[in-house]
């Protein structure tokens, strides 16, 4: 995601009713916040929110939470929510490394990672969202029989992500190296902003669904 410092973004995010402050006493209270007992699905590294907004509109019976580190990126999602509010979608502006401080054990029913930053240098491997360090964090917040879905066009990152599963105690339920030509796994697929961009260039999209 291209980063520009957008003047006023921090203030708009801080004042938005669609963004839950990172240090709110929020852990274990998400169902109360949404005002219902619906399942909670989160996207980590949501960017400008295209995927989540489509999902939330298609599935009013699910509550969605988008997590994005940068206010300059989240701003666009907040503006879209102002134009077209969805009662089952909220955002948090935070580093995903702190997820266990925002969600109770098992509070999340499903996790989506879409086109996560590749962090290509070996010394930055721990920052990759499908790394074993992050899988350990997801393990804390995801319901026992919940699952995680990851899509990327970056084959190097995808191979790394697959290698991380066993040491982290996760198992692959489904894997494809060409999602858009996999009739079973592409059924109901909602494209993300990056997925549209890279698949239109001819890049095949890799996807796994994992559980533990
Ligand atoms: N998921 C969107 C898509 O598929 O179109 C955006 C993909 S973009 C390449 C990755 C996004 O993840 C960026 O907006 C980045 O700021 C965010 N991100 C990366 N690491 C993060 C972290 N540790 N915590 C929260 N967001 C993160």
- Read off the pLDDT of residues 189-202 as tens digits, 9 standing for 90 and up: 999 999 999 999 99
**Choice between 205 and 8, residue whose per-residue pLDDT is larger:** 205
User: pLDDT tens across 14-48, in order?
Assistant: 999 999 998 779 999 999 999 999 999 999 999 99
| Whole-number Å distance between alpha carbons of 44 and 65 | 9
Measure CA of the first residue to CA of the last residue in the chain; give whole Å: 30
Kindly give the distance from the C-alpha atom of residue 165 to the centroid of ligand 1, in angstroms, as a whole number: 21
CB 55 within 8 A of CB 41: yes
- Range scoring the smallest mean pLDDT among 12-26, 80-94, 127-141: 12-26
Mean pLDDT of 149-175: 98
pLDDT at res. 5: 81
**Does residue 117's CB lie within 6 angstroms of at least one atom of ligand 1?**
yes
- Reported as type and span, the H/E element at residue 208 is strand 206-211
CA of 95 relative to ligand 1 center, distance in Å: 10
> For the whole prediction, is pTM greater than 0.95?
yes
Q: How far is the CA of 198 from the centre of ligand 1 (A)?
A: 15
pLDDT bracket for residue 7 (50, 70, 90): confident
Which protein residue's CA is at the shortest distance from atom 8 of ligand 1?
A: 1
Q: What's residue 6's pLDDT? A: 86
Q: Nearest-CA neighbor of 99 among 132, 61, 127, 137?
A: 137
How high is the pLDDT of residue 2? Answer: 53
- Tell me, yes or no, if 117 is annotated catalytic: yes
Whether ligand 1 lies within 6 angstroms of the CB of 132 is answered as no
- What 8-state DSSP symbol labels residue 103? S
The whole-chain average pLDDT of the chain stands at 96
For residues 135-153, average pLDDT: 98
pLDDT value, residue 23: 77
* 42 pocket-lining for ligand 1 (C-beta < 6 Å): no
Is it the case that residue 123 has pLDDT exceeding 80? yes
**Catalytic residue among 117, 139, 153, 178, which?**
117
Query: How many Cα atoms occupy the beta-carbon half-sphere of 198 within 13 Å?
Result: 19
195, with CB counted inside 10 A (0-12, 13-18, 19+), is buried
């Amino acid at each position: 995601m291209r980063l520009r410092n957008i003047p006023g973004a921090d203030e708009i995010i801080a004042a938005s009713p669609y963004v839950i402050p990172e240090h709110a006493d929020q852990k274990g209270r998400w169902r109360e916040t949404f005002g219902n007992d619906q399942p909670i699905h989160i996207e980590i590294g949501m960017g400008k929110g295209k995927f989540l907004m489509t999902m939330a509109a298609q599935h009013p019976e699910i509550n969605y939470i988008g997590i994005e580190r940068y206010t300059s990126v989240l701003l666009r999602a907040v503006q879209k929510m102002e134009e077209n509010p969805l009662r089952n979608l909220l955002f948090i502006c935070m580093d995903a490394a702190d997820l266990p401080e925002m969600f109770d054990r098992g509070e999340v029913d499903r996790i989506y990672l879409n086109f996560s930053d590749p962090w290509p240098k070996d010394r930055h491997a721990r920052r990759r969202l499908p790394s074993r360090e992050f899988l350990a964090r997801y393990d804390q917040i995801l319901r026992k029989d919940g699952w995680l879905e990851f899509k990327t066009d970056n084959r190097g990152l995808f191979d790394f992500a697959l290698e991380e599963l066993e040491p982290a105690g996760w198992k692959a339920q489904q894997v494809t190296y060409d999602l858009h030509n996999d009739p079973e796994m592409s059924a109901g697929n909602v494209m993300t902003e990056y997925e549209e961009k890279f698949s239109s260039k001819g890049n095949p999209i890799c996807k796994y669904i994992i559980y533990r």
